C-alpha cells in the first residue's frame, strides 16, 4: 500500500457585497472658498479576495460642486459654494466591486459668510410733509433686505448725510422666512421721524442719505436718498415796506403806463418763492385813476393825468390779501403818487436865419449890432432861454442871455471873407429842449495889403542865351514876374513896371519880360532890371518893394570834347585792393567857361567793379579783381560838357585785362580717403585715385604735384603726379602694419608762392589665407601597452596658424599614413587602411583597438593639419603641414612558452 498528499486550492468567486461605511452623515462647509475643501472619506469592505475585492467609489448623480476619488473615496469641493444659491446638498455615494454595489447618503450644509450688503427696496424716495407738525411726526418708512443669515442679515439704519438735528431713523422689525428649506433674505424697515417742527419759510425741502448696515463682523452697507418737501401752511400775513416809497410820474404819462411792481414791496419772503396762484391779491381802494393787477402786482394808470387841473399828488390805499380761502390774511398801506411838470415846448427863433456884415478892421471886444432872438411857450426854468455858438467860437462870441454877437479876434477878409455861424437856443428844463439857426457874417475888405513879388528874390538871376539865328530872337519871352495882393477887388488888382528904361528888355502890365534889343555875350554878359508891382486901390494905391532881376547872357556851346586815343589798353593783376587808381583818361573842349568843363562817366561796362572821377577822369577799382571769375573788362567812357544848355559828348574804349596771381590753393576732393584692398593685391595696381582742383586760370599757378607725406621705406604705396595710388611692395597682413595703413597725402601747385592742401588716407587690408597651419613639433614620441583597453587617448595635438582672419585659421587634423616595424621580418611596412589609430573631435590621437607587439613593435603615425578655406599660396588648394608620432608598443606577458 502506498500514500500521496493532494493539495486542493479553492478559487474565489465574487459572492460578497461591498460593505459601505461612512464616518458621518452631516457635514458643514463655508461658502466662498475657491480652493478644494476636504469633506470626508468613504470606506467600504469586501470579503472577497483579489480583483473581486477591488472597490470603486462614485456619486449616483454627477455633481458640479463636489468630486469623489474613485479609488480612495475622498470627497472634496470642486468650486466655490454659494449659500444664497443652495444652502444644503444631498450626495449619494455608491461603492461597487464590479458586480455588487451599496449606496449611502451624506448631507453637506453650506455655512453663511457675510458677502451680501443690505439692499434698499428703492434707490431714492420722495415724500411731502406739512410744516408745523409736532416733533416725532412719521415721515417715511424705508425697507432693506439682506440675503445673508443671522447677524450677517441683521440690518440697522442711520442717517449718513443730512441734518440729524431735524430727522432720525428707527429700526422697526426683522422678517425672516424659510420656504422649501431655503432661507429667504431677511427684511427690515426703518421709520424716518422729525425731531423738530419743520418750517416751510426757513427751508422748503430737505435731502437725506440713509445708510443700511448689516451686523456682520466686516459690516457691509448701502445707501438710499430721501427727498422731503415741506408743504406750506398759511401762517404769515402779507407785509408791506413801512413806509412805502413815494412815486413821481410825468403829467403826460399814457393810460396803462406801469408805475411800479407792488408785489416786490411786500416784505414776507415766503411769498416770493410760491407758485403764481399763491401770490397775495392786491387792490386799490377809492379811486378810478389807478388800478393794480392781482396776479403781477403791477400798478398802472387808468386815465390821463393833469397836474394843472388836478391835485399835484394822489394818495392811494393798497390792500394785499393772500389766497388761502377762508383762512386768508390781509394788510393795508398807503402809497403817494406825485405828478411832475413836463418841458413840452422848445425855443423858437423869430426868423429862420440871420445875416449881417462888418469891416475887416472892426475893433475886437465890442458888441456888434448883430443879434438873434427866440421865444419859448413854457414857464419857469422850462421857458428860460440860453444862447450859444455850436461852431466858430474863437472869432465870435454870443451873449447867452441877450443873443448879441461880439468880436473876440481880429478879422482878415483875405483869409476868411465870411463866417457861417450856428446859434443854438436851449431852455433850462431838466431835459432841455434845443433848436438852432444860422447867422451869416460877411467881412468887408479894406486896402491894407501891399502887392508882393513872389518869384524874384534878392539874388534871383536868369540865364538868357546870346542871340543867334536859331536860338534866341527879339520879342522872345525870357521871364514872367508873379505877384500877389491879399486884398480883393481893385484893392488886389496888380500892374508891373521897370524902374528907369532898358534898351534890351520890356515888361507888360501882366509882368511878362521880353527881349527888346540885341544881346551879345562878348559885349555885355550881365543885365539888372528893377521891377515894381502896383495895386489899383482907392483912394490910395500901394506899391510893392522894388525887386532886382539879374539876367546873365549865356555863351553858346559849339565844341565837342575829344580824346587823344580811340582806346586805352592796360593790364591789372587780380588781388589789387579796392580804390586803387588804374588809368586816367582825358578829353579836351575848346569852348570857354562852363562850356569847356568836361565831365566823365562810365556809360557801358561793369560799373559795379570800376568808378571814374567825373571831373578828373581818373579810374578806380570798386572791388578786388578775380581772374578766375572774369579775365577782362571792356568799358565805354563818355566825356560831355553837361553844364552847357546843349551838352555835347564823345566816347573812348578802355580795355582792362586781369592778370592771374596764384591766389587759390589746390583743393583735394575729400578730407579723408579710405579703401579696402586684399592682402594679395597685385603690385603697381591702382587702388585709389586722389583728385584735386585749383581755381587759378593759368600755368604754373594751376599745375599740381602729388606726394606722400611718409617716406617710401615705411610705406608700401606710391603716388604719381596724376594722383594714382598704387602698391609698390607686397603687403603682409601678419606683418608690422597689420590690417591697416594710415598716412597723409599732399597736393601743391607750381606758383611762385607755393600753395598746398593735404588729406588723410586709410587703407584697410583684407587678410588672405596665405599661412599654413603647423603643429607645435615635427615629431612626437609616445608609448602604449599592447593590452591597453580602447579607446585610449595617446597624445593631444596642438596646431597654430599665423593668419589674421579667424575664418582663415579654421583647420582639421587627419591621419595621413601609418607605418609599422614588422617584428617577424624586422622591416618597416606601410599599413594601408589601418584602423588602429584615429583623431577624435578634441584633436587627440586615440588607440582604437588592441595591439600585438609580437607582430608590430612600433608605429609611425603621420598626421596632417589642413585649413578649411582655400589656400592662396597653393593656387586655390588647401594649406597643410605634417608631423610624425612614434608609438612604441610595450610588451605584456601574454604568450605561453
Rounded CA-CA distance 687/674 in Å is 10
pLDDT of 276 reads 33
User: Distance between CA 513 and CA 506 in Å, rounded?
Assistant: 5
Tens digits of residue pLDDT in 2-20 = 888 888 887 878 888 998 8
- Residue at grid coordinates 565844341: 559
Q: Quick one: three-class SS letters along 660-688?
A: CCCCCCCEECCCEEEEEEECCCCCCCEEE
Exposed (0-12), middle (13-18) or buried (19+): which is 858, by Cβ within 10 Å?
Answer: middle
Q: Phi first, then psi: give them for residue 563, nearest 5 degrees.
A: -95, 150
- Tell me which residue of 190, 176, 167, 178 sits closest to 121, measured CA to CA: 190
Q: What residues contact 84, with CB distance under 8 A and at least 6 apart?
A: 116, 147, 148
Complete DSSP assignment for 79-96: S---TTT-SEEEEEEEEE
Distance CA(335)–CA(332), nearest Å, equals 10
Question: Exposed/middle/buried for 577, CB within 10 Å: 0-12, 13-18, 19+?
Answer: exposed
Q: How far apart are CA 465 and CA 551, in angstroms?
A: 10
Three cell numbers, residue 864: 596632417
> Cβ distance 747 to 722 under 8 Å?
no
CA 785 – CA 847 distance, rounded (Å):
10
Burial of 811 (0-12, 13-18, 19+ CB in 10 A): buried
At residue 806, the pLDDT reads: 77
* pLDDT for residue 298: 75
What is the SS3 string spanning 547-567? EEEEEEEECCCCCCCECCCCE
Distances (CA, A) of 428 to 264, 338, 376, 402, 728: 36, 22, 11, 15, 122
Burial of 668 (0-12, 13-18, 19+ CB in 10 A): buried
Instruction: Give the pLDDT confidence score for residue 307 in this predicted structure.
Output: 62
**Helix, strand, coil proportions of the chain in percent (round to 5)?**
5, 45, 50
Residue 892: how many other CB atoms lie within 10 Å: 14
pLDDT at 268: 40
**Buried-exposed string 325-349: b where 16+ CB fall within 10 A, e elsewhere:** eeeebebebebebebebbbebbbeb
Closest Cα partner for 532 from 518, 543, 517, 519? 543
Residue among 848, 826, 849 nearest 838 (CA): 848
Based on C-alpha coordinates, what's the Rg of the chain?
69
Cα separation, 138 vs 104, in Å, equals 58
Looking only at the bridges linking them, the beta strands covering 396-398 and 404-407 are antiparallel
Contacts of 81 by beta carbon, 8 Å cutoff, 6+ apart: 29, 31, 32, 33, 65, 110
Q: How far apart are CA 299 and CA 257, in angstroms?
A: 8
Q: Are 443 and 360 in contact (CB under 8 A)?
A: yes
∠ CA 700-706-710 to the nearest 5 degrees?
140
- Number of other CB atoms surrounding residue 315 within 10 Å: 12
Instruction: Name the DSSP letter for residue 807.
Output: H
Read off the pTM.
Answer: 0.34
Residues forming beta bridges with residue 111, ordered by sequence position: 30
Q: What is the pLDDT of residue 180?
A: 35
- The x, y and z cell numbers of residue 869, run together, are 578655406
CA 332 – CA 70 distance, rounded (Å): 100
Residue-wise burial string across 270-280, b where 16 or more C-beta atoms lie within 10 A, e elsewhere: ebeebeeeebb
Distance CA(421)–CA(405), nearest Å, equals 10
Pairwise CA distance, residues 559 & 539, whole Å: 59
Q: Please say whether the beta carbons of 179 and 192 come within 8 A.
A: no
C-alpha 771/C-alpha 807 separation (Å) is 12
Chain position carrying cell 445875416: 355
Length of the chain as a residue count: 897
By DSSP bridging, strand 811-822 and strand 827-830 are antiparallel
In angstroms, the CA 252 to CA 546 distance is: 77
| Contact yes or no for 97/54 (Cβ under 8 A) | yes
DSSP structural state of residue 263 = G
Three state DSSP letters for 676-741: EEECCCCCCCEEEECCEECCCCCCCCCCEEEEECCCHHHCCEEECCCCEEEECCCCCCCCCCCCEE
Asked if 848 and 833 touch (Cβ cutoff 8 Å), the reply is no
* Start-to-end Cα distance in the chain: 68
What whole-number distance in Å separates Cα of residue 844 and Cα of residue 832? Answer: 21
Residues of the chain below pLDDT 70: 172-187, 240-245, 251, 259-287, 295-297, 306-310, 322-327, 341, 379, 392-393, 467-472, 521-522, 558, 590-591, 642-646, 711-714, 734-738, 872-877, 896-897
Amino acid at each position: 500500500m502506498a500514500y500521496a498528499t493532494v493539495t486542493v486550492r479553492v478559487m474565489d468567486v465574487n459572492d460578497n457585497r461591498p460593505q459601505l461605511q461612512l464616518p458621518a452623515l452631516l457635514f458643514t462647509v463655508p461658502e466662498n472658498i475657491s480652493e478644494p475643501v476636504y469633506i470626508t472619506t468613504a470606506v467600504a469592505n469586501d470579503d472577497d479576495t483579489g480583483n473581486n475585492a477591488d472597490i470603486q467609489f462614485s456619486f449616483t448623480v454627477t455633481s458640479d460642486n463636489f468630486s469623489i476619488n474613485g479609488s480612495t473615496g475622498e470627497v472634496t469641493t470642486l468650486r466655490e459654494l454659494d449659500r444664497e444659491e443652495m444652502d444644503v446638498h444631498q450626495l449619494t455615494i455608491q461603492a461597487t466591486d464590479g458586480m455588487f454595489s451599496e449606496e449611502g447618503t451624506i448631507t453637506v450644509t453650506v455655512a453663511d459668510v457675510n458677502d451680501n450688503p443690505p439692499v434698499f427696496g428703492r434707490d431714492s424716495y420722495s415724500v411731502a410733509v406739512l410744516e408745523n407738525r409736532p416733533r416725532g411726526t412719521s415721515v417715511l418708512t424705508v425697507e432693506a433686505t439682506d440675503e445673508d443669515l443671522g447677524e450677517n442679515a441683521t440690518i440697522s439704519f442711520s442717517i449718513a448725510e443730512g441734518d440729524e438735528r431735524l430727522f432720525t431713523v428707527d429700526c422697526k422689525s426683522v422678517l425672516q422666512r424659510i420656504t422649501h428649506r431655503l432661507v429667504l433674505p431677511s427684511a427690515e424697515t426703518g421709520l424716518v421721524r422729525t425731531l423738530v417742527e419743520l418750517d416751510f419759510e426757513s427751508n422748503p425741502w430737505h435731502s437725506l442719505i440713509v445708510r443700511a448696515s448689516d451686523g456682520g463682523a466686516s459690516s457691509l452697507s448701502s445707501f438710499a436718498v430721501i427727498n422731503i418737501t415741506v408743504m406750506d401752511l398759511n401762517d404769515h400775513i402779507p407785509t408791506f415796506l413801512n413806509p412805502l416809497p413815494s412815486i413821481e410820474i410825468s403829467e403826460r404819462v399814457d393810460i396803462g403806463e406801469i408805475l411800479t411792481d407792488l408785489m416786490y414791496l411786500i416784505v414776507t419772503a415766503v411769498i416770493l418763492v410760491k407758485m403764481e396762484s399763491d401770490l397775495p391779491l392786491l387792490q386799490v381802494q377809492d379811486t378810478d385813476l389807478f388800478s393794480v393787477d392781482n396776479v403781477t402786482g403791477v400798478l398802472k394808470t387808468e386815465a390821463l393825468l393833469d397836474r394843472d387841473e388836478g391835485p399835484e399828488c394822489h394818495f392811494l390805499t393798497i390792500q394785499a390779501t393772500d389766497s388761502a380761502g377762508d383762512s386768508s390774511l390781509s394788510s393795508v398801506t398807503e402809497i403817494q403818487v406825485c405828478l411832475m411838470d413836463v418841458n413840452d415846448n422848445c425855443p423858437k427863433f423869430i426868423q429862420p436865419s440871420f445875416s449881417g456884415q462888418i469891416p475887416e478892421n472892426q475893433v475886437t471886444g465890442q458888441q456888434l449890432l448883430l443879434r438873434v432872438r427866440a421865444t419859448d411857450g413854457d414857464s419857469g426854468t422850462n421857458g428860460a432861454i440860453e444862447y450859444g455858438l455850436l461852431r466858430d467860437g474863437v472869432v465870435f462870441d454870443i451873449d447867452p442871455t441877450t443873443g448879441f454877437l461880439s468880436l473876440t479876434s481880429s478879422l482878415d477878409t483875405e483869409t476868411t471873407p465870411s463866417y457861417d455861424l450856428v446859434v443854438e437856443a436851449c431852455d433850462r428844463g431838466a431835459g432841455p429842449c434845443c433848436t438852432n439857426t444860422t447867422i451869416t457874417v460877411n467881412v468887408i475888405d479894406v486896402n491894407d495889403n501891399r502887392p508882393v513879388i513872389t518869384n524874384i528874390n534878392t539874388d534871383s538871376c536868369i540865364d538868357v542865351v546870346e542871340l543867334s539865328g536859331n536860338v534866341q530872337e527879339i520879342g522872345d519871352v525870357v521871364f514872367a514876374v508873379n505877384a500877389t495882393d491879399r486884398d480883393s477887388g481893385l484893392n488886389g488888382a496888380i500892374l508891373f513896371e521897370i524902374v528907369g528904361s532898358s534898351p534890351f528888355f520890356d515888361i507888360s502890365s501882366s509882368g511878362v519880360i521880353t527881349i527888346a534889343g540885341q544881346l551879345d555875350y562878348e559885349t555885355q554878359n550881365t543885365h539888372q532890371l528893377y521891377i515894381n508891382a502896383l495895386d489899383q486901390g482907392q483912394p490910395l494905391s500901394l506899391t510893392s518893394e522894388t525887386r532886382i532881376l539879374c539876367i546873365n547872357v549865356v555863351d553858346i556851346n559849339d565844341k565837342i570834347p575829344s580824346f587823344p586815343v580811340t582806346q586805352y589798353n592796360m593790364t591789372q593783376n587780380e588781388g589789387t585792393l579796392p580804390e586803387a587808381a588804374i588809368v586816367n583818361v582825358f578829353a579836351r573842349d575848346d569852348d570857354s567857361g562852363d562850356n569847356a568843363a568836361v565831365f566823365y562817366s562810365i556809360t557801358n561796362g561793369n560799373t559795379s567793379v570800376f568808378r571814374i572821377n567825373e571831373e578828373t577822369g581818373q579810374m578806380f577799382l570798386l572791388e578786388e579783381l578775380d581772374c578766375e571769375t572774369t579775365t577782362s573788362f571792356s568799358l565805354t567812357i563818355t566825356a560831355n560838357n553837361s553844364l552847357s544848355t546843349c551838352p555835347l559828348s564823345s566816347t573812348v574804349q578802355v580795355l582792362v585785362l586781369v592778370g592771374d596771381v596764384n591766389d587759390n590753393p589746390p583743393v583735394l576732393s575729400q578730407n579723408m580717403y579710405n579703401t579696402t584692398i586684399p592682402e594679395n593685391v597685385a603690385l603697381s595696381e591702382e587702388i585709389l585715385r586722389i583728385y584735386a582742383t585749383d581755381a587759378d586760370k593759368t600755368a604754373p599757378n594751376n599745375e599740381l604735384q602729388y606726394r606722400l607725406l611718409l617716406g617710401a621705406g615705411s610705406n608700401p604705396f606710391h603716388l604719381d603726379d596724376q594722383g594714382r595710388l598704387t602698391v609698390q611692395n607686397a603687403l603682409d597682413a601678419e606683418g608690422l602694419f597689420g590690417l591697416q595703413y594710415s598716412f597723409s597725402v599732399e597736393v601743391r601747385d607750381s606758383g611762385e608762392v607755393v600753395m598746398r592742401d593735404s588729406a588723410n588716407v586709410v587703407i584697410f587690408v583684407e587678410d588672405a589665407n596665405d599661412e599654413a597651419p603647423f603643429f607645435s613639433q615635427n615629431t612626437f614620441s609616445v608609448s602604449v601597452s599592447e593590452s591597453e583597453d580602447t579607446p585610449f587617448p595617446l597624445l593631444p595635438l596642438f596646431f597654430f596658424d599665423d593668419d589674421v582672419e579667424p575664418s582663415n585659421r579654421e583647420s582639421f587634423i587627419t591621419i595621413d599614413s601609418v607605418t609599422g616595424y614588422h617584428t617577424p621580418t624586422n622591416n618597416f611596412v606601410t599599413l594601408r587602411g589601418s584602423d588602429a589609430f584615429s583623431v577624435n573631435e578634441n584633436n587627440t590621437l586615440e588607440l582604437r583597438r588592441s595591439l600585438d607587439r609580437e607582430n608590430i613593435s612600433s608605429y609611425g603615425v603621420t598626421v596632417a593639419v589642413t585649413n578649411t578655406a582655400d589656400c592662396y599660396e597653393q593656387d586655390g588648394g588647401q594649406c597643410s603641414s605634417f608631423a610624425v608620432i612614434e608609438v612604441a608598443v610595450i610588451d605584456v606577458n601574454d604568450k605561453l612558452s
